[in-house]
Amino acid sequence: MEVAGMTVTLDHAGTLIGRKQCPREPGTFLMESHQDSVRDGGGFDGIMGVVQPILAIAKLQSEGVNLPFSVEVLAFADKEGVRFPTALI
């Protein structure tokens, strides 16, 4: 996230948040996924849903594209529960 030019924070629930700020700030576009994975979740389940938007933001930054809104990528610690007896939150 930092390499992609985002400010990174962690909230009280363990959500990792990367923010690319737009100076004009008409709104914020959120993209999210979870760091855990589930069986048969598909090719973009879990961490791929976190990495893909970060790569897109990094690409836009490398090309000098400034979006007309802020963007946040949220990486939830545990969205769907896990198959083990403890949850990640």
Alpha carbons 15 and 21: distance in angstroms, whole number: 18
Q: Which helix (H) or strand (E) holds 32?
A: strand 28-34
CA atoms within 13 A on the CB side of 9: 7
Q: How many domains does the chain have?
A: 1
Residue 61, domain member (yes or no): yes
Residue 85, domain member (yes or no): no
Residue 11, domain member (yes or no): yes
Residue 68, domain member (yes or no): yes
- Looking at per-residue pLDDT, the higher value among 68 and 13 belongs to 68
- Looking at per-residue pLDDT, the higher value among 26 and 19 belongs to 19
CA distances from 76 to 21, 46, 63, 87 (A): 20, 9, 28, 12
- 85 confidence band (pLDDT: 50, 70, 90): low
Residue 25, domain member (yes or no): yes
Residue 66, domain member (yes or no): yes
Residue 33, domain member (yes or no): yes
- 24 confidence band (pLDDT: 50, 70, 90): confident
Domain ranges, residue 67: 7-76
DSSP3 helix / strand / coil % (the chain, rounded to 5): 15, 25, 55
Q: Is residue 89 over pLDDT 60? A: no
Specify the pTM: 0.76
Residue 86, domain member (yes or no): no
- 16-20: strand order across its sheet: 7-10, 16-20, 70-76, 28-34
